[in-house]
Amino acid sequence: MACGFRRSIASQLSRVLDLPPENLIKSISAVPISRKEEVADFQLSVDSLLENNNDHSRPDIQIQAMRLAEKLKCDTVVSEISTGQGTVNFKINRELLTKTVLQQVIEDGSKYGLKSELFSGLPPKRIVVEFSSPNVAKKFHVGHLRSTIIGNFIANLKEALGHQVTRINYLGDWGLQFGLLGTGFQLFGYEEKLQSSPLQHLFEVYVQVNKEAADDKNVAQSAHEFFQRLELGDMQALALWQKFRDLSIEEYMRIYKRLGVHFDEYSGESFYREKSQEVLKLLDSKGLLQKTLKGTAVVDLSGNGDPSSICTVMRSDGTSLYATRDLAAAIDRMEKYNFDKMIYVTDKGQKKHFQQVFQMLQIMGYDWAERCQHVPFGVVQGMKTRRGDVTFLEDVLNEIRLRMLQNMASIKTTKELENPQETAEQVGLAALIIQDFRGFLLSDYQFSWDRVFQSRGDTGVFLQYTHARLHSLEETFGCGYLNDFNIACLQEPQSVSILQHLLRFDEVLYRSSQDLQPRHIVSYLLTLSHLAAVAHRTLHIRNSPPEVAGARLHLFRAVRSVLANGMKLLGITPVCRM
C-alpha cells in the first residue's frame, strides 16, 4: 500500500481539487532514489492531473504546481511540501516513514507491495497462461526456454496479485513427426533407451529417420502411413504414440522441477484432432471456409483475397493444421475455464499466427477473442552448451550448474556448502533469468556465459550473493538484537534511501503487471542490492549500541524480505549461503 501514504496525500488533494481520491492515487508516485541528494518521497505530476481532467488547454504547468502546493498543508503524515519540474513534492514524516515501512514489510511478508492501494478495486480474474510448449521428439530450443521462464514469471505475478491462474503446457505432440517417429522406432529404436532417457532417444531416432526418409522413399512412405494410422485412430499406433508422449512428459516434469516450474495441465495439439474437425464444420457453416484448387481450405481474413491475410486451416487430405488446432484449443479452454484472460507466450516469429487465430475467433462470433493476448519475445543468439547448440533443456541446466560450480570454486569467499550442486544450480539459474529479464522481452540479444555469471555488476549472481549475505547477517546477530531497537536511529542517508526504495516496490509491481515486462522488477532489485551493499559497508552492527544495532538489523531484514519476494516472482529461488 506504499503503506497508505499515497491515500493520505490523495485525500488532502481531493479536498483541494474537488476530485475523488481514487482518481488521484495513480498520479502520486514514489520518487526514485537518487544518489545525489535527499529527495522527496512522493510526487504528484500536475501533467497527469490535467490529463485526468481532459483539459487540453494546458496552462503553464509550473504555475499550476505552485498554486496547488500553496493550497496544501503539512500534517501528521506530510512534513514538507515543495515543487519541482511540474510536480508537487511531498516529504513524509521521517519517523512515521521508518516505522510504517518496516512494520508493513514484516507484517505483509510475501504480500508486501501486493496489498497496495494501487491494486485496490482490482477484481480477481480467471487467467490462463500457456507457456513452454516444446515439441516432443524435436529440439527444445532457446525459444522454449525463454517461453518457460517468461510464462512462469507472468503466472507467478498474476497469482501473487490474487488471480486464479491456470498454467498450461501445450505440447507439440501431433503431426507428421510422429509418423516418422513411429516408423523410426520400429527401425532403430531401443526399448531400454526409451525408458531410461526418452527425450534423448526419441530425438536420436527422429534425426536418423529423417535422414533415411530423405534418401529412401519407402521410409518416407511408411512414415506417412504411420501418421495416417494415427489420424484414423489405429489402436496399436496410438499406443506407441501414447508411450512416447507419457515418457517424454515424465522426463520433462522432472526437469521443470529443477527449474522450479510446474503446470496445471499438460495439453497438446493431439487433444484437438477431432475438435479441429468440428471447427472446420463450424467455419463452413458460417460461410467462412473457402476451398482452393489444391484441395486445401482457407479462411480469408481480409475478405478481399489479400494473400497475406489468408490462413490455411485444412490440408488437402482433410487433416487439420497448427492454426486449426489452436482455434479448437481456445474454444475448448473457454468452455473449460471460462477465462477472463488467456496469455500465450512464444517467440515473436508466431506473432502473425496468433493475430490470425484471434481474428478468426472474432469473425466466428466469439467476442471473448479480445481476452486473448500473445506475449511475444525476441530471439537469443549464440547460446551453446558443451554438446553444441541447445537441444535439450537438461543440457542447459547441467551447463549452468557446472559453470557455476567452477566459478564458486574459484572464489575465495565461497562458504562450505551442504549441497553445492543445488546452490550452484540456483545461483546459476538466477544469473540466467536476470540476464534474460533485464531488457525488453521483445528485444533480441546475444547470449554470453561470461556476462551471465559475472559476480560483480548487475547480474543474478549479485542478487543471490546479496541475499545470502543478508541472511548470514541475521543468523549471526539475529537473536541478540532484534528485540531491543530504536527506529529513530535510522536517520543516515543510507537508511533513508533504502526506506524510500522499499516504498516504491508496489509501483514497480504495478508497472510489471501492466505491461508484463519483468525488467521493472529486475532493475528495482538490482538497485536494492546496491543500496544494501553500501549500507552493509557503512552501517555496522557489531560494536554499535544495541538499539542502533537492532534498528539496522531490522532494516536489513526488511531488505532481504523484499529482495526474496521479488526474486521469487521472477522465478528465482533465493539461496541462504553461497
Q: Which residues are identified as catalytic? A: 138, 141, 144
With the CA atoms of 411, 416, 422 and 423 taken in that order, what torsion angle do they form, in degrees rounded to the nearest 10? -50
Strands (E), 327-371: 341-347
Q: Which is nearer to ligand ARG, 170 or 437 (CB)?
A: 170
Structural contact between residues 560 and 468, judged by C-beta atoms closer than 8 angstroms = no
Candidates 129-137, 215-223, 236-244, 446-454: pick the segment binding ligand ARG (CB under 6 A).
Answer: 129-137
Q: Hey, which residues between 139 and 198 contact ligand ARG (CB under 6 A)?
A: 170, 172
Q: Hey, which residues between 298 and 357 contact ligand ARG (CB under 6 A)?
A: 326, 344, 346
Q: What is the DSSP string of 92-127?
A: E-HHHHHHHHHHHHHHHGGGTTTT-GGGTT----EE
Neighbours of 555 (CB within 10 A): 26
Neighbours of 476 (CB within 10 A): 12
Candidates 28-36, 70-78, 128-136, 246-254: pick the segment binding ligand ARG (CB under 6 A).
Answer: 128-136
Q: Under the criterion CB under 6 A, does residue 466 sit at the interface with ligand ARG?
A: no
Residues 6+ apart with CB under 8 A from 570: 153, 156, 433, 434, 437, 518, 521, 522, 525
Closest distance between ligand ARG and the C-beta of residue 130, in Å?
6
Q: Which is nearer to ligand ARG, 241 or 344 (CB)?
A: 344
Q: Which is nearer to ligand ARG, 326 or 394 (CB)?
A: 326
Candidates 130-138, 468-476, 524-532, 557-565: pick the segment binding ligand ARG (CB under 6 A).
Answer: 130-138
Strands 310-314, 297-300: pairing is antiparallel
Closest distance between ligand ARG and the C-beta of residue 301, in Å?
17
User: Closest Cα to residue 309, out of 322, 297, 299, 319?
Assistant: 299
C-alpha cell of 453?
Answer: 555469471
Q: Under the criterion CB under 6 A, does residue 133 sit at the interface with ligand ARG?
A: yes
Among 41, 108, 117, 130, binds ligand ARG (CB under 6 A): 130
Q: Which is nearer to ligand ARG, 130 or 506 (CB)?
A: 130
Query: What distance lies between CA 400 and its chain's CA centroid?
Result: 20
* DSSP letter, residue 491: -
Query: What distance lies between CA 561 and its chain's CA centroid?
Result: 20
Candidates 90-98, 127-135, 414-422, 430-438: pick the segment binding ligand ARG (CB under 6 A).
Answer: 127-135
Q: Under the criterion CB under 6 A, does residue 248 sit at the interface with ligand ARG?
A: no
Closest distance between ligand ARG and the C-beta of residue 405, in Å?
31
Q: Which is nearer to ligand ARG, 104 or 346 (CB)?
A: 346
Q: How far apart, in whole angstroms, are the C-alpha atoms of residue 348 and residue 353?
A: 10
Q: Under the criterion CB under 6 A, does residue 252 sit at the interface with ligand ARG?
A: no
Q: Under the criterion CB under 6 A, does residue 272 sit at the interface with ligand ARG?
A: no
**Number of residues forming the site for ligand ARG (CB under 6 A):** 8
Q: Which is nearer to ligand ARG, 98 or 169 (CB)?
A: 169
Among 135, 385, 435, 517, binds ligand ARG (CB under 6 A): 135
C-alpha cell of 305?
Answer: 483475397
Q: Is 553 helix (H, G, I), strand (E, B) or coil?
A: helix
- For 523, the enclosing helix (H) or strand (E) is helix 519-538
Residues in contact with ligand ARG by the rule CB under 6 A: 130, 133, 135, 170, 172, 326, 344, 346
